A and B are shown apart, each in its own frame.
Chain A
Amino acid sequence: SQQGEEDPQALSIQEGENATMNCSYKTSINNLQWYRQNSGRGLVHLILIRSNEREKHSGRLRVTLDTSKKSSSLLITASRAADTASYFCATDGSYKLIFGSGTRLLVRP
């Protein structure tokens, strides 16, 4: 069953703009993770935020978590063409992660 659902499904922005992707989930979590996937490649872990954290930063990435709304957002600031990829949120289950369907981000040069 799918736990996280990303929104929007696709996003096209100009280089230099910020990109915001949202993730909603259904059941209680211990943590939420964001991953990136370049076309035809495996996923790369970006950031993990625990259920007792509200915000976390890593370079140009900012992740927020609102457990009362069961939602998270990923903000990429000052986007670059190289940020073009699909982004997935994943919520934890026992020994496994449940991935959403992803947001396809296109950053136009």
Chain B
Amino acid sequence: SQTIHQWPATLVQPVGSPLSLECTVEGTSNPNLYWYRQAAGRGLQLLFYSVGIGQISSEVPQNLSASRPQDRQFILSSKKLLLSDSGFYLCAWSADTGQSNQPQHFGDGTRLSIL
């Protein structure tokens, strides 16, 4: 069965520090991968998605970047965090069938607090 791992679960970082959040998927090949951010009590904002190694699409211009160094690994990074980067970050995967009707499967998220 497929599983998705996301870590760390919580993170407290000072303004201006770097960030690296990691997400890995097991039990499937060539998944579509996604990074979302969720503000408290709000919906999900898609940040990045990837349909293959090295292929990253950015949805929102911002202080963050994403990379996919391996088929089932998706990393969210920042060189210098801003206060506005605080939030709940979720990684998700879906099967790559070339169709848009696949369910997405989410990790348990990382709660990032910037001080």
Write the nearest CB–CB distance from B98 to chain A, whole angstroms: 9
Q: Which residues of B pack against A, CB within 8 Å? A: 6, 32, 34, 36, 41-44, 46, 49, 51, 57, 59, 88, 90, 92, 100-101, 103-109, 111
Given the interface contacts A95-B51, A102-B43, does A30 sit within 8 Å of B107 by beta carbon?
no
A18-44 vs B, CB cutoff 8 Å, 1 = contact: the mask equals 000000000000110100000011111
Name which residue of chain B comes closest to A43, CB basis. Answer: B106
Write the nearest CB–CB distance from B85 to chain A, whole angstroms: 19
Pick the contact of B103: A45, A88, A101 (CB < 8 A).
A45
**B contacts with A: majority SS:** strand
**A contacts with B: majority SS:** strand
Name which residue of chain A comes closest to B106, CB basis. Answer: A42
Name which residue of chain A comes closest to B59, CB basis. Answer: A96
Write the nearest CB–CB distance from A71 to chain B, whole angstroms: 17
Chain A residue numbers with a CB within 8 Å of B88 are: 40
Given the interface contacts A42-B108, A43-B106, A102-B43, does A50 sit within 8 Å of B101 by beta carbon?
yes
Name which residue of chain A comes closest to B107, CB basis. Answer: A42
Q: Is the CB of B43 within 8 A of A88?
A: yes
Q: Which residues of A pack against B, CB within 8 Å? A: 2, 30-31, 33, 40-45, 48, 50, 88, 90, 92-102, 104
Write the nearest CB–CB distance from B73 to chain A, whole angstroms: 18
Given the interface contacts A95-B32, A99-B43, does A40 sit within 8 Å of B109 by beta carbon?
yes
Q: Is the CB of A97 within 8 A of B111?
A: no
Chain A residue numbers with a CB within 8 Å of B105 are: 45
| Given A43-B104, A90-B104, A96-B49, 14 new contacts (CB under 8 A) | A30-B100, A31-B101, A40-B88, A40-B109, A41-B108, A45-B104, A50-B101, A88-B44, A95-B32, A95-B57, A99-B44, A100-B43, A101-B43, A104-B41
